[in-house]
Amino acid sequence: MKLYSRSQLIKSAFSGLIAGILIALGFVAYYSVNSKSSDSNTDTETSQKSSEAETDFSENQSNFSQTSEQESIRQKVVSENTSTISTSSSKYTQDEQQNISVYEKCNEAVVNITTQEMAYNWFWEPVVQEGGSGSGSIIDSRGYVVTNVHVISNATKINISLADGSSYEGTVIGKDVESDIAVLKFNPPDNVTLKTIDFGDSNNLKVGQKVIAIGNPFALERTMTTGIISGLGRPIQESTNVIIRNMIQTDAAINPGNSGGPLLDTTGKMVGINTMIISNSGSSAGIGFAVPVSTARRVVDDLIKYRKVNRGVLKITPVQMTSSIARYARLSVSTGVLVSSVEKGSLTEKSGILGGTQAVQYGSRFNPTTIYLGGDIITGIDNISVKTYADYMSALESKRPGDTVTVTVFRDGEYKKLKVTLDGKESSQNQTNEKTTAL
């Protein structure tokens, strides 16, 4: 072990202290320089970051501005699209608009007609019961309504209901069985203005043309159906002695309750009166028929003016030809209308139509009918073949008193054509002479 003196120890400690101080000063200087460098770097980084942040903020502001502008544009486009969609949803196709326009124009002029009839109970006491129902059109602001005869047949009371729910009792102004057209009248209050339907033109209709029907099928008031004209000039036999010619055929749905209602064109004018359908089920099968307005106009005018149709007639007693009459009279013609008698002094007699001379009893044993054989047998009027009494009535339906028609008759085994001037119905002749004898 090495020994040191006191002076040596002091020198050694002093040297160590000096060395420690120098080392410490060196560390301080080192850390001072590094600290400044670090602060400088930090400041630079901070400045850079601040600058970058400012740039980012500026860019973000720009982006935000652009985004806001884009959002504004998008919202505007959405708003416009929404507006367009909204506007588009409130629009209709041309066909729909047409239907809507016709309905709004005409539905309030279509009435619901219900009737009551007289019946008898089990004790044979007269009682009033519900009758039929149908439709009609108000054609005059004074309360005139056109409908079908069969809608009001057997009615003891007629009720006319309007679109506003009001109801009035109707009276019969006149009816024409040959065309199945009737005119009714009700009296609205003075402060009520009635909607009416105008007559159109049925002479220029075309197959394929759109038509609209409004009526009260199955008591569902003011129902509208649409279709086309399926055929024109149809001769349709409505009953045993009635054929209505020139009827309009349509596939517009017509059901029970539509009878008497209007068939309209796309302008809302009446071109026909819905009258009947052909169907196995009793409901619409797409085959409906309407009396043309050309017939209705003439018939309605006469019914309002004269309470009857001023139609040209042949003043004869007609008898429906049958095979039994042909065999008995030994005739080669078994169809047509036999002229049993001709009214004396009538235009028909002056035109050369001949009645029978041989009286015979015809019919049942308990209800025989006297007819006269040997007269003319009418087989045609103008260009219409007459095989039945219904044909005969139909051929004269559109004729006026004073009109001249060509009548084809079978006389003495051959056919002859005669020019005949038609009489009017006004005559002293018994009205039963205008009826056919049921054979």
Question: Count H helices, E strands: the chain?
Answer: 7, 20
User: Among 288, 254, 309, which residue's Cα sits nearest to residue 134?
Assistant: 254
Q: Is the CB of residue 384 less than 8 Å from the CB of residue 397?
A: no
Q: Is 377 left (phi over 0), alpha (psi -120 to 50) or beta?
A: beta
User: Among 352, 358, 357, which residue's Cα sits nearest to residue 408?
Assistant: 352
Owner of token pair 């506003």: 164
Q: Is the CB of residue 424 less than 8 Å from the CB of residue 399?
A: no
User: Among 417, 402, 408, which residue's Cα sits nearest to residue 378?
Assistant: 408
CA 134/CA 180 separation, integer angstroms: 13
User: Among 372, 74, 107, 342, which residue's Cα sits nearest to residue 225?
Assistant: 107
CA 1/CA 187 separation, integer angstroms: 154
Cβ neighbours, 10 Å, residue 377: 24
Among 176, 179, 180, 341, the active-site one is 180
How open is the CA angle 256-174-233, to the nearest 5 degrees? 55
Whether 251 sits among the annotated catalytic residues: the reply is: no
CA 279/CA 427 separation, integer angstroms: 41
* DSSP bridge pairs for 145: 138, 184
Grouping H, G, I as helix, E, B as strand and the rest as coil, residue 387 is coil
Whether 137 sits among the annotated catalytic residues: the reply is: no
Q: Residue 321 burial (CB < 10 Å; 0-12/13-18/19+)?
A: buried
Among 133, 137, 259, 351, the active-site one is 259
CA 373/CA 387 separation, integer angstroms: 18
Among 133, 135, 137, 150, the active-site one is 150
CA 357/CA 197 separation, integer angstroms: 53
Whether 259 sits among the annotated catalytic residues: the reply is: yes
Q: Is the CB of residue 355 less than 8 Å from the CB of residue 339?
A: yes
E strands within 149-269? 155-161, 167-176, 181-185, 210-215, 223-239, 242-250, 262-264
| Residues carrying an active site annotation | 150, 180, 259
